[in-house]
Every structure is written in C-alpha cells, then in structure tokens.
Amino acid sequence: MKLIQILFIILWIAFYGAYLLKMFILRRQGVQADILGKGDKSKSHAAFETAIKLVTYTGAGVQIFSITLPTAIWSFPPFPTMQVDGLILAAFGTICFIAAVVVMGRNWRAGFSTEQDTKLVTDGIYRFSRNPAFLGFDLLYIGCALAFPNLINIIFAIIAVTLFHFQILGEEIFLSKAFGKEYLDYKTKTMRYLGIRKI
C-alpha cells in the first residue's frame, strides 16, 4: 500500500469517525441529531434528505473502496500532483468538518426541522464559513476523486456536492425564518462556503 493510500485512510477514519462519534455523543445527551428525512417535512423534502443520507453512506463506501483498490474498476491514471492536491483538499475538508461539529456542540444536526431546538452559531470556524461541515464533505469528496479518479468515485463526488448545495439552500430558508435579522446579518458578513465580506 502506498503512502498516499495510508494518509487517505487516516483522513477517512478521522472524518467519518468524527461524524459517528458526534452522533453517538448527542444521542447519549438525548439530542436527536440525525433528522435527515424525518420530522415535519413535505414528502418531497423528506425524500430528498433520504437521498442525501443514502449518497453520503454509499459515498463513504465508494471512497474507501477507491482508496484501497485504486485500479480495480474504471480508473483513470492520476497525475502525482492530482494526488497531492487531492490529499490537501481532503485534509482541509476533514479539519473544517471536525472544527464545525466541535464548535456547534449540542446544536449540530444532520438535516433540519422546525421541531428542533437549536441556536444560531456564528463563532469559531463559523466566522469564516456559514457551512463548514458541508464544505468539509465537499472537499473530502473532491479530494478523494482527484487522488483516486475512477468513474464511480467521480460520479458520487458530483452527485454529493450537488445534493449538499441544494440542502444548504433549503437550510438558508429555514434559518432565515427561524432566526430572522440575526441570521440575515450573519449572512451578509460570512460567505456560504468560505470567506468574510467587507461591509
């Protein structure tokens, strides 16, 4: 096994380990953190969130398969710089994701619902990104597809990034209604994915 594969496996374990650990901790605290496809949602939105969950879990399997067996199926030869760039993106994505779930504390959720009891978090990494957890997912998917470019890995990366973007748009509508001016002020200062606007 090559060094790039070992480093990606470490990142993969850290990323999804943080996700599952956060779910476990919140469940122990009596918080329903996984609300994808659940709650007071229209059938179409519940189906959309269920699709996100399916793509996320299946995508994790596709990633580990692509990392451990990089030439097994419909693979393209990666350039060395692509693998390094992919590793850097995936590492940055893992850092963003872990920072997001730590800063969110008990307010972290997978999905959104008007039934949830949460507060708006705007400090820590949320000063630089309104959606650092989604940014983390995007960078992990893109980084893995760059480093281990097989057809299935690339297709899952494109589908996941697209679904996550539409989920973000839905969450923005929910947050605007739930937090009003507080969220709108935050939205004017902090970019959707990464960056701070000068006002």
Q: Is 0.85 topped by the overall pTM?
A: yes
Which pLDDT tens digit goes with each residue over 66-90? 999 988 778 888 777 999 999 999 9
pLDDT category, 42, cuts 50, 70, 90? confident
Which pLDDT tens digit goes with each residue over 166-192? 999 988 988 898 889 999 999 999 999
CA distances from residue 6 to 1, 100, 113 in whole angstroms, order as listed: 7, 25, 38
Q: How would you class 122 by CB atoms within 10 Å of its CB: exposed for 0-12, middle for 13-18, buried for 19 or more?
A: middle
First-to-last CA distance in the chain? Answer: 50
Average pLDDT rounded to a whole number, residues 130-137: 95
Distance CA 70, CA 58 (A): 17
